[in-house]
Amino acid sequence: DLYNMIVNDDLLDPDVAWLGDAANIKAWQYDMTGHVKQTVECYCELGKVNVSTLKDVSTPSIDDHLIPPEDFEKPGVLADECAKIVLKALWPARIGRPEILWAVNTLARNVTKWTKADDKRLLRLISFGLRSAAAALWLTVEPMPSRR
């Protein structure tokens, strides 16, 4: 069954949601790996950033107290390109990456008034995306059997 295929890592393709008869589906996965990688690539291309310079971070957001107050007044470097990058991040956030949804929505609210603080927030989000690109949302239709 599907549960044993998941546990034993016997899935033919991890992106496949429909394995066998649709009536017997017990779980499925929203895998946004490709979309997150495309978002990172879009950021690196439009921001002229080398992917190797992105740091390993554990959260998608940065605390506003860590951003100097003057950065909220200065226009951001990515002001002309920010909408393309943020909208690219919105799709995986909406469909299968709820942990980045708040960060993406915060940036989306600011695309018409982009500041240097938003540049820093976007860098944090993209760095987190690179680190966690393979994260996926699993949904189950019935309780998983208990392990003994």
Mean pLDDT by 10 residues, the chain (148 residues): 48 49 67 89 94 92 94 96 96 90 96 96 94 80 65
Whole-number Å distance between alpha carbons of 67 and 53: 20
- The amino acid that residue 106 corresponds to is T
Whole-number Å distance between alpha carbons of 41 and 111: 19
For residue 1, what pLDDT is reported? Answer: 45
